[in-house]
Amino acid sequence: MLLQILWTQGAYPLWKPGEAFKRQWQNTPHNFGYNIILNNKNLADYQGIYTQENHPGPTAIVGNGMGWNKETGLVSAVAILMVDRPQFLELTLGPESEGFPEVYRAKINTIELPIIGITHTTYGTNTAKRVRFSIPEFILRQNGDQLISLCFTPSFHGRDMKRTRSLYQVRWK
């Protein structure tokens, strides 16, 4: 349910100026126009790529990596990631479970990112799909850290919310 709210609202309620500081996230900035450093792990340290081995969890940024299981590499129907100065967004995903439609959506705040390409590829010995999204020019000009919401489901009901698939890699530079 929380992930559904985050997706539909573009995660804005978590980061609304002033509100975050009134709650438990006092060390989490609400303006992403600068690099975020928490627990000695900087987003720039990831060099534009997350993998299961280089998972976003160690940043300790609230919500970063939510929906992506570090141990199994499986991503749920909705996931949240924080990236620094994205130039594009590229996901490398395992095959979709049988009977589920292929759905690839990404948002920065409430702005849906357009898909610019889907290609079949491999990741190690696994078959995979590479889905690439473009970043709107006005977001590129912000030159800061961005909260990205990923969605792999056509609806937020029943079995659609229980679906998972492998997320091998996320690139943004």
Total number of domains in the chain: 1
pLDDT in tens, 70-129: 999 999 989 999 999 999 999 999 987 776 778 999 999 899 999 999 999 999 889 999
The CA-to-CA distance between both ends of the chain, in Å, stands at 31
Domain limits for position 31? 2-171
pTM for this entry? 0.75
Q: In the predicted model, is pLDDT for residue 50 greater than 60? A: yes
> What's the pLDDT band for 7 if we cut at 50, 70, 90?
low
Strand, coil or helix: 168: strand
Any long-range contacts for 49-53 (C-beta under 8 Å, 24+ apart)?
A: 49/169, 49/170, 49/171, 49/172, 49/173, 50/81, 50/169, 50/170, 51/168, 51/169, 51/170, 52/167, 52/168
68 pLDDT tier (thresholds 50, 70, 90): very high
